[in-house]
Amino acid sequence: MTLFDTHTHFDGLSPADFYEEGRIAGVNYLLVAGSDYATTREAEIFSEHIPNSWFSAGVHPHDARDAAPDTFDAFFPHKKNVAVGEIGLDYYYDFHEEREKQISVFKSFIDKALEHNLPAVIHCRDKDGSQKAYEDAHEILRDFSKSGGKFVMHCFAGDEFWLEKFLSIGSYIGFAGILTFPKGENVRALLRKTPLERILFETDSPYLAPAPFRGKKNHPALLVHTVKKAAEILSSEFETLAEISTRNAFTLFKKASRDEI
């Protein structure tokens, strides 16, 4: 059994200890996501020192105000850079960056994903009762997809309508520890509606630790608990689902090599 944590943020331990703790649990592959310039650089350094790990380069929408997308250009040709992200839109908090700035930065990074033939890792979150972030993101990603772009909706928690809309333009769907939460039935319903060949698993560590570790710092080693819950939901064998999701990850992040040692 082997797993690919397709979205983690390096936090705390030394890179070697961080990776080894996950590997012992069966999580052999990591994609360390950048959320601004500093964390992208940290992710790059991590990937250079740790086998079976890669990184993505981008700016979280919460940091859009100070983003300078062109400063990221040196990251994308790196052999360990396999995606652009995390990027996207977040309208949940009114006090966060102006929507126009978020959209501008998002589009800039989407253009870079096309230029460098890299998939995009998408963050999208809306205010309760609103659909505007999903509407705006879908419009941008529809054109991206038409131009040959590939992407994953990271830690997706929208409704089934938006699930179908994003799937229809080729999206992969990233599932995290929310699957295990008592109030996560909406995400469990999304999992049941997602084709097996589009499913990815992630921790988003250090956030969203799965049950029974709620309230503690998340880590790639805990991905096993999320995938076991997913297998239960889908009436699947754990090992089978682990292999399918790992294969999906290497299909999307095609610069990553499963044979790296």
pLDDT at 91: 93
- Does residue 20 form part of some domain? yes
Note whether 50 and 74 are within 8 A (CB). no
- Does residue 257 form part of some domain? no
- Does residue 145 form part of some domain? yes
- Does residue 260 form part of some domain? no
- Does residue 261 form part of some domain? no
The DSSP bridge partners found for residue 33 are 56
pLDDT at 95: 56
Angstrom distance (rounded) from CA 217 to CA 215 = 7
- Does residue 258 form part of some domain? no
Domain that holds residue 220: 3-252
Q: Which CATH number is 134's domain given?
A: 3.20.20.140
The total number of structural domains in the chain stands at 1
Tell me which residues of the chain have a pLDDT lower than 50.
261
Angstrom distance (rounded) from CA 11 to CA 40 = 13
pLDDT at 261: 47
The encoded tokens of residue 136 equal: 């705006």
Q: pLDDT tens for residues 181-219? A: 999 999 999 999 999 999 999 999 999 999 999 999 999
What's the whole-model pTM score?
A: 0.96
Of 63, 9, 76, 1, give the one whose Cα is nearest residue 36: 63
